[in-house]
Amino acid sequence: MKKVFKPISLLSILLLSACGSSSDNNDTEFVDSYLQFYNGSANSAATLIAEVDGNTLGTATYGDASGLITAESGDVDLEFYRIDADDQKVTLEEVTVDLSDGEKVLMILSGDYEAPSFIANRFTREDLEDHFRLFATSVITGTAGYDLYMSAAGEPFSAASPLGTINYQQFDELDYWDPDSDSDYFEEGEYILYLTEPGSNEPFYESATISFAFDTEYVLVLRTTSGAIQDNVVVDLIINSSAVANYADEDATGQYRIYNSLDDETAVSLSLAGNDGTSVDTTLSANTVSAFNEVEFGDYRLTATLDDEAFNNRLVTLNQGESKAIILYRDEDAQLNSISFKESNLPQVFDHQLQIVNLVPDYFDIDFYFVRQDETIESAEYQVAGLDFEESRSIILPSDFYELIAVFDDSNDTQILLDRTELLGINEEVNYIITVEKTDDSATGFKISILK
């Protein structure tokens, strides 16, 4: 039977998430079947869900979910796929799922993306008032699971209540430790989550204060970080929208790396100082990128010294589980300066999220092209247009070979070629940074640098 799928509007999402029963006879308001998809494969690409030989229903990157979709009850044939570098569909799995009225099916992708697992987790939706339900699972492979605790906001771990052990691919509803006379479910409010190794009384993870404000079913998923920072445990909370809340450990460290884009022969002396009196000192040669440096999360003051030049008031904020790149350059007045940006936490396996930075004060609105073997800049599918001086912007590319070309269109519509590279493989599992810079070592006076 052909299914009728209806993506839910934002207004409907809010109503479905927050509504309580409004009928005198307690008849359910959830008369449709519901479907959602969550991507929990740590080495995955952006993955699409569709009807077999039918419409695409949604997409999800790692740690993300599709929107909620409604459908008629009955069997539905689903296809999960990605798009490769040739814009061809690569089917990962076809699954037949039985949908029932009033029931939600959450399809969870987990495991190695080369041999993925797609599991249908289902529960009946209920009208709730001032309460919520909490389900939990894990997509972390190779562990014996983790014990989950929960406390009211403001209370210490010693006051937290155990909710059970969260195991890989096991989907359980959790019980509230202090139910009231109106409901056995969790009371709306603010809570803190903790994780310990099985049987341990020492938490290795503590969440920020989480507001459970909707009268709905929450699904808690344990996963690890990917991209620039890897293997930290994160808690994802899924409700009935594509906006998945991600919670890092409140005590997780951050990290940074610095690129010295200056052509000066003298190395730059750098110091990153925290508010507790600690500092990390580094000397970085010209046209060199440092290794990643792990530090406690917080706000830092960056100082840079080059001969008789210096700045000492650059603020660098590193949040929990966050990685930032810092780039040293010269501004329009040839003064020493810096910019920073957050690096991607997505898997850099099939897709690559590159950061492009314009460090050329001579030209604003640079156009940057990623040109494959069968393309020119006029036919190139991937490009970043109008990149201003001191601006950084990201683009997602599939693994492939590209020629990188930086161009400026002047007021006479004449294209000025700033620089181009050889055909390069953008296919390593690293976080790429691409810069356009001035240099004395190029025939054009400009260069493209590829950092990884």
Per-residue pLDDT for 16 more than 50? no
pLDDT in tens, 340-392: 999 999 999 999 999 999 999 988 899 999 999 999 999 999 999 999 999 99
Q: Which range is least confidently modeled, 122-126, 226-230, 236-240, 417-421?
A: 226-230
Per-residue pLDDT for 2 more than 60? no
Per-residue pLDDT for 306 more than 80? yes
Summary mean pLDDT of the chain: 91
Predicted local distance difference test score (pLDDT) of residue 278: 81
For a pLDDT cut of 70, what percent of the chain falls above it? 94
Predicted local distance difference test score (pLDDT) of residue 308: 85
pLDDT in tens, 380-403: 999 999 999 999 999 999 999 999
Higher pLDDT among residues 290 and 24, named by residue: 290
pLDDT in tens, 175-222: 999 998 889 999 999 999 999 999 999 999 999 999 999 999 999 999
pLDDT-derived band at 28 (thresholds 50, 70, 90) equals low
Predicted local distance difference test score (pLDDT) of residue 24: 37
263 contacts 286 by C-beta, under 8 angstroms: yes
Predicted local distance difference test score (pLDDT) of residue 449: 96
Per-residue pLDDT for 60 more than 50? yes
pLDDT in tens, 293-302: 999 999 999 9
Predicted local distance difference test score (pLDDT) of residue 182: 85
pLDDT in tens, 240-290: 989 999 999 999 999 999 999 998 778 999 999 998 878 899 999 999 999
Predicted local distance difference test score (pLDDT) of residue 5: 58
Predicted local distance difference test score (pLDDT) of residue 441: 84
> Average pLDDT, stretch 311-337?
93
Predicted local distance difference test score (pLDDT) of residue 295: 94
pLDDT-derived band at 120 (thresholds 50, 70, 90) equals very high
Predicted local distance difference test score (pLDDT) of residue 6: 55
pLDDT in tens, 102-118: 999 999 999 999 999 99
Per-residue pLDDT for 416 more than 70? yes
pLDDT-derived band at 19 (thresholds 50, 70, 90) equals very low
Predicted local distance difference test score (pLDDT) of residue 171: 98
